[in-house]
């Protein structure tokens, strides 16, 4: 079953690398700039490299994104994770507000926090089969705590949330598309989760059609 993944283009994403990595995971990848583009996809990815001020560029896609998140597997990457929250110390303005909380500047002396960092996994389907989770980070802001946190990492001695999971919604502060084998495995897990969700939806739709057909036959 071919999976269609839409990567949202809002002028700040690491789109090329994310698309190439997902294609290696055997997904059919397209670039989404409109609500109609999101409707056609089975799963959605919100990538990001840049400032929280990019939130204003998502304004026209806000409603389609929120509608999609309620129905389809969704993955936010780096800035794409931060934009799922309400606000940030980095810039004024509100973002998608799917998670409550504020993105805060890291307090470690050396910023941005760049390089390979170990991730301590608390839970999460995204990390299935990854024995030594080490990923590539590049950021100066992060979420310090969240009830939806699935893993944590450190910048210097400071802990921060490395990933989130809630039902069909996933987000990571690191860049899986730049994280070698671990990153590809994580993206493969996301593709697998989304494929299973698509299969369940197809089975449900088929079951509903059969019930309707049976009801019509009885009423004939």
Conformational region of residue 11, where left means phi above 0, alpha means psi within -120 to 50, and beta covers everything else: left
177 flagged as catalytic: yes
175 flagged as catalytic: yes
138 flagged as catalytic: no
To which residue do tokens 């002396």 refer? 109
Output the six-digit token pair for 135: 């990923």
User: Which pTM does this prediction carry?
Assistant: 0.92
CA distance 218 to 214: 6
Report pLDDT for 1: 65
CA distance 21 to 114: 20
Among 51, 83, 43, residue whose Cα is nearest residue 194: 43
Q: What CATH code is carried by the domain that includes residue 68?
A: 3.40.50.880
DSSP β-bridge partners for residue 149: 164
CA distance 186 to 183: 5
Mapped onto helix, strand or coil, the DSSP state of residue 112 is coil
Catalytic residue among 25, 54, 139, 177: 177
Domain that holds residue 133: 4-219
Catalytic residue among 54, 78, 139, 165: 78
pLDDT in tens, the chain (220 residues): 689 999 999 887 789 999 999 999 999 999 999 999 999 999 999 998 888 988 888 888 999 999 999 899 999 999 999 999 999 999 987 899 999 999 999 998 899 999 999 999 998 899 999 999 999 999 999 999 999 999 999 999 999 999 999 999 999 999 999 999 999 999 999 999 999 999 988 887 677 667 666 667 776 6
Number of folded domains that form the chain: 1
Instruction: Give the CA distances from residue 93 to residues 33, 99, 102, 172, 182, in Å, rounded to whole numbers and listed in that order.
Output: 21, 15, 11, 22, 34
């Amino acid at each position: 079953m071919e999976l269609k993944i839409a990567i949202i283009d809002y002028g700040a994403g690491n789109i090329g690398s994310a698309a190439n990595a997902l294609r290696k995971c055997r997904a059919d990848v397209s670039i989404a700039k409109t609500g109609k583009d999101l409707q056609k996809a089975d799963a959605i990815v919100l990538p990001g490299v840049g400032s929280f001020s990019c939130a204003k560029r998502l304004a026209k896609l806000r409603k389609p994104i929120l509608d999609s998140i309620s129905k389809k597997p969704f993955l936010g990457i780096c800035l794409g994770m931060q934009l799922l929250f309400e606000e940030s110390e980095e810039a004024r303005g509100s973002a998608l507000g799917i998670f409550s909380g504020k993105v805060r500047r890291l307090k470690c002396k050396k910023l941005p926090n760049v390089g390979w960092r170990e991730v301590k996994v608390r839970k999460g389907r995204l990390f299935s089969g990854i024995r030594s989770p080490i990923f590539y980070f590049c950021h100066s802001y992060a979420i310090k705590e969240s009830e939806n946190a699935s893993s944590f990492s450190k910048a210097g001695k400071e802990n921060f949330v490395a990933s989130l999971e809630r039902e069909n919604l996933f987000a990571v502060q690191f860049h899986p598309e730049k994280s070698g084998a671990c990153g590809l495995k994580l993206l493969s897990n996301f593709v697998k989760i989304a494929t299973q969700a698509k299969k369940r939806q197809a089975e449900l739709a088929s079951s509903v059609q059969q019930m309707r057909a049976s009801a019509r036959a009885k009423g004939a």
